[in-house]
Amino acid sequence: MSECHHVTGCVRQVPIFNHLPNKELTEVMKVVHSRSFPVGSFLYKAGDSSTGLYVVQTGKVILYRSNEEGKKQLVRQLFPGDFTGELALFLKQDHDLFAEAAEASHICHIKQSDIDTLLMTYPNIALTLLKHLAFRLDESERALQQATSGPVDVRLKHYLHQLKQPSRYPVVCDLPMKQKDLASHLGTTPESISRAIKRLEKAGDIKKRGPKTFVILQPLI
């Protein structure tokens, strides 16, 4: 698959660009560079200087922190259309997370200087990016609250409620991550998550259908 094809796909699927007219999309494509990352390789590591915006076209990327003992704390997972590196566009600081390819991934990169030019040239991009940052901030605050407050059962309930907020029950809910990654995301252990799931099943709140599939039987919060 040609680099041109990858670049076109990246630009057209990422929310901060896909609203642009074709002429402006073409200008964005001129400054996008594509690269393949095998599983286990890093887009960047904590402490690396920020070089711009990374857009996932195919594959999956995990963002995490690592403590002194080498234990990972999952912060977020990126899927096709998601991007990272946007905070450094404004803060001009080094990365504080690790960005690792969890699957073989194709990534598009836009240098920081080119992003600055695009933001000044096309105000709609800047507005959409600010809206995205506001959403991320709200998401981060909710995640922090989940990871630090209450028993594991409560954290799990809040997480599942965020994934699905239906008007009717029961409803099928598919986790976007493995159970061990969910444990890391909620600041606990896989064993604690397993026990919490069993307790919620016993209480009649949920029913487990598969490794990442649940049926939510009633409102959780």
Longest dimension (CA), the chain: 57
Q: Using the predicted structure, report yes or no on whether residue 205 has a pLDDT greater than 90.
A: yes
Separation CA 121–CA 27 (nearest Å): 10
Specify the fold of 1-147: Jelly Rolls (2.60.120)
pLDDT of residue 39: 96
pLDDT tens column, 76-90: 889 888 889 887 677
Domain boundaries, the chain: 1-147, 152-216
Q: Using the predicted structure, report yes or no on whether residue 2 has a pLDDT greater than 60.
A: no
Taking residue 212's Cβ as centre, other Cβ atoms within 10 Å add up to 14
Of 185 and 144, the structure prediction assigns the larger pLDDT to 185
Whether 1-147 shares its CATH topology with 152-216 is answered no
- CA nearest 156: which of 128, 192, 120? 192
Instruction: Give me 32's structure tokens.
Output: 């996008």
Q: Token match 């009649």: residue?
A: 204
- CA distances from residue 121 to 13, 83, 88 in whole angstroms, order as listed: 20, 21, 19
pTM as predicted: 0.69
Separation CA 107–CA 54 (nearest Å): 6
Across the range 37-52, mean pLDDT stands at 94
Q: Using the predicted structure, report yes or no on whether residue 104 has a pLDDT greater than 90.
A: yes
Specify the fold of 152-216: Arc Repressor Mutant, subunit A (1.10.10)
pLDDT of residue 145: 67
Instruction: Give me 52's structure tokens.
Output: 């711009």
Three-class secondary structure assignment of 50-105: CCEEEEEEECCEEEEEECCCCCEEEEEEECCCCEECCCHHHHCCCCCCEEEECCCE
- Work out the pLDDT band at 144, boundaries 50, 70, 90: low
Sheet holding 213-216, edge to edge: 171-174, 213-216, 206-210
